[in-house]
Amino acid sequence: GWHDYLYGDPKPADALIRKDNPEMAQDVLDQAREKMKSYGIVDGGEAKTTGIGTMSDARWAEFFKIASDQGVYPKTLDYKKAYTLQFVTPAAK
């Protein structure tokens, strides 16, 4: 999973990425992985206490606000249809 990709052996995942995206240079993947680690994109914030991949209504609302403020998504989009908390541990909700 993500932990293995970031802190273990990234080669198997990189091979899959490059299979579907042959134009992707290895140095770009290496740099992206380092940025994900340094910025805590995968394992920072809530993930430190609730685990990698954890979602919450608050986290989705924050993401949507930032993205819609930048024009990535229309502000009228019902972003709550994009996810479910059905499989999230109770501590993360």
For 71-81, how does the pLDDT look when each residue is reduced to its tens digit (9 = 90+)? Answer: 999 999 999 99
Give me the chain's average pLDDT, please.
Answer: 91
- What pTM was computed for the model? 0.64
Q: Which residue has the tokens 């009228």?
A: 76
Contact 55, 61 (CB under 8 A): no
35-58 pLDDT per residue, tens: 999 999 899 888 888 888 888 898
Q: Is residue 91 over pLDDT 70?
A: no
pLDDT at 90 (0 to 100)? 63
Domain boundaries, the chain: 1-43, 53-93
